[in-house]
Amino acid sequence: MGIGKTTAIRSLCGDLMVDCDVPNMDPSSCAKESTTVGADFGVVELDGGEQLHIYGSPGQDRFDFMRGWLLSMSIGVIVMIDANQPDAVQVATRYIRTVLSVSESMPCMLLQARPISAEAADRFTSAITDILGMPVPVIAADVREKSQMLDALDIFSSLLVTI
């Protein structure tokens, strides 16, 4: 909660998005006024007239069923993470394993959504690669900045065309 899913989709899609935010009733877990309780949804118009549909799945365990449903119809997944958090490696690998359990060939990318030092970013990426036994693309972006999110989406799109 609070990593920036809704902000990221709003940056990318502007008015072409629907958010599912409601007041946060669990301020002890996260001091945030609102939280996502459904799948945020937005549309990005791609060059060439195609559309990319983006869904933001809530992260909390009680929304496992929704993640499963969204994954079943996804062509790729971006896992957003704050790599400064002490449990970031465990959390990220758990989400990636969930994605790969649905489809071993699902394009998957990690998005570092909070500023992090180059050393910490390297440590994070190495730890993920060691645990999963495979490299996972990791990029950093400020979700509030449209241009950075478009660059991130560009890199992600290049993973999609390899499937």
Binding residues for ligand GDP, rule: CB under 6 A, are 1-7, 35-36, 113-115, 142-144
**How crowded is the C-beta side of 156, counted as CA atoms within 13 Å?**
23
How far, in whole angstroms, is CA 101 from its chain's centroid? 17
- For residue 130, the minimal CB distance to ligand GDP (Å) is 27
Q: Which of 42, 107 has the CB closer to ligand GDP?
A: 42
Among the listed ranges 1-9, 62-70, 83-91, 93-101, the one in contact with Mg ion (CB under 5 A) is 1-9
Token pair of 97 as six digits: 């394993």
Footprint of Mg ion on residues 112-131 (CB under 5 A)? none
- For residue 53, the minimal CB distance to ligand GDP (Å) is 17
Options 4, 9, 13, 36; binder of Mg ion; rule CB under 5 A: 36
Three-state secondary-structure class, residue 140:
strand
- For residue 131, the minimal CB distance to Mg ion (Å) is 27
Place of tokens 């301020």: 27
DSSP string, 6-72: HHHHHHHHTTSEE--EEE-S-TTT---SEEE-S-EEEEEEPTTS-EEEEEE---SGGGHHHHHHHHH
Q: Which of 7, 93 has the CB closer to ligand GDP?
A: 7
Q: Which of 38, 137 has the CB closer to ligand GDP?
A: 38
How far, in whole angstroms, is CA 113 from its chain's centroid? 9
The listed partner (ligand GDP, Mg ion, none) that binds 70, CB under 5 to 8 Å by sort, is none
- For residue 32, the minimal CB distance to Mg ion (Å) is 9
